[in-house]
Structure 1
Amino acid sequence: MTEDPTLDPTGKSLWRPLRLLQASMDAEIARIYAEERIAGLKPSYVMELLRLHARGPMTITELAGSVGRTHSALSQKVAAMRAAGWVETVAGDDARSKKVALTDRARGIVGRLAAEWHATEAALAEIEAEIPYPLSRVVTDIEQVLARKSFHDRIAEKLAEDPAWE
């Protein structure tokens, strides 16, 4: 059966290879954790765990702002990290507020997480040195292009030209 790209445009994607690459690299980091028998730790938790270690307990809003995520997204992540035993909720500065804090379990491995972070960054720098156009440069270049004209505006212009969008 021949695929019709007008019926299923998802067969072609410029971004899918990047998402798949990142997922593959995250899986390799997760494999390191599994080899070290660090159960229930996802690579996506590490930045928040290290941030909490460095800065102490924070509200979800404070933690979200510090890592550049939305409150909603971070609230979901904190719930998952709490269920996995990495964080807990503690009383905030007043009776109405709560803060996210590391559990003893997380405090026990935070040094190892920092070591993994440094090793990962070093491995990425090594990879970037081997390719002609480093990903960090690609990101900076895309950010500069989007500063001139937003991704939203670019998509909206394309949709305005497409009769299927009407």
Structure 2
Amino acid sequence: MTATPDPLEQHRWRPLRQLLDAMDADIARLYADRGITGVRPRFVAPLIRLGRRGGMTIRQLADSLEVTHSAMSQTVAALQRDGLVTTAAGADARTREVVLTDRAREILPFLEAEWRATEEAVAELEAEIPYALSQVVRDLQAALARRSFHDRIADRIAES
């Protein structure tokens, strides 16, 4: 019997995930440098959105940031645990509105400044490399629009 290679030895996505994790860690370090605790980079977009648009339901917040309701529900739960948002009765008995706490409103100017600075730093990085990551993403999206990732994987499983 011939042993097949360990599939974990091939990992084309791991370097990208590690890069993004390292960049997120650097952003988190900026928060720590400023004494901001309990804030993770993934919290910033919902906090800014709530700061700009006011209270929203989890569904509205998820839709506005183009994430799943489940993912946003988990994020809101974490934001509540860290004292950054509270929920209040919504327009009807079935909904809850997510609103910023005073603590979140205090740090919001820094979070917006960090967001803008991060976007500028990404643009600077893209200018230093021959093929911008944002272009890579657009090219991958176009390729996946022609044939989904699901179909690509399913075809290979069927072949094996």
TM-score in same-fold range (> 0.5): yes
TM-score (norm 2): 0.96
**Among candidates 57, 60, 82, match of residue 59 of structure 1:** 57
CA distance in 2, matches of 1:107, 1:10: 44
| Residue aligning to 2:35 | 37
- Deviation of 1:5 (Å): 6.0
Question: Considering only aligned residues, what root-mean-square deviation do their CA atoms show, in Å?
Answer: 1.1
Aligned to 1:19, which of 17, 20, 42?
Answer: 17
Q: Percent identity?
A: 56
| Distance apart, 1:96 and its partner CA | 2.8
Corresponding residue SS for 1:41: coil
Question: What corresponds to 1:136 in structure 2?
Answer: 134
Partner of 1:81: 79
Amino acid at match of 2:159: E
Out of 7, 10, 25, the residue aligned to residue 8 of structure 2 is: 10
Asked if the contact 1:5–1:11 (Cα under 8 Å) also holds between the matched residues in 2, the reply is no
Deviations 1:102-131 (A, max 9, x none): 111001111111000000000000000000
Deviations 1:124-150 (A, max 9, x none): 000000000000000000000011111
CA-CA distance at 1:94 after TM superposition: 2.0
Give the 3-state SS of the residue equivalent to 1:100 in structure 2: strand
Check whether the contact 1:52–1:102 (CA below 8 A) recurs between aligned residues. Answer: yes
Change (3 A) 1:5 1:68: farther
> Where does structure 1 differ by over 6 angstroms across 4 or more consecutive aligned residues?
none
Gaps of 5+ in 2: none
Q: Distance in 1 between matches of 2:151 and 2:92?
A: 43
Rounded Cα–Cα distance in structure 2 between residues aligned with 1:111 and 1:90: 24
- Residue type at the aligned position of 1:102: L
- For 2:129 and 2:101, how far apart are their aligned partners in 1? 40
Query: Which amino acid counterpart does residue 37 of structure 1 have in structure 2?
Result: G
Which structure 1 residue ranges, 5 or more long, are not aligned?
Answer: none
Indicate if the aligned counterparts of 1:58 and 1:100 stay in contact, CA closer than 8 A.
yes
Query: Relative to structure 1, is the Cα distance of residues 161 and 54 closer, same or farther in structure 2, using a 3 angstrom cutoff?
Result: same
Which one-letter code corresponds to 1:104 in the other structure? Answer: D
Which residue identity does 1:26 align to in structure 2?
A: D
Q: Report if aligned partners of 1:49, 1:106 keep a CA contact under 8 Å in 2.
A: yes
Q: Distance in 1 between matches of 2:105 and 2:52?
A: 11
* SS at 2:56 equivalent: coil
Total equivalences in the alignment: 158
Counterpart pick for 1:145 among 119, 143, 146 = 143
In the alignment, the residues of structure 2 paired with residue 27 and residue 5 of structure 1 have an alpha-carbon distance, to the nearest angstrom, of: 36
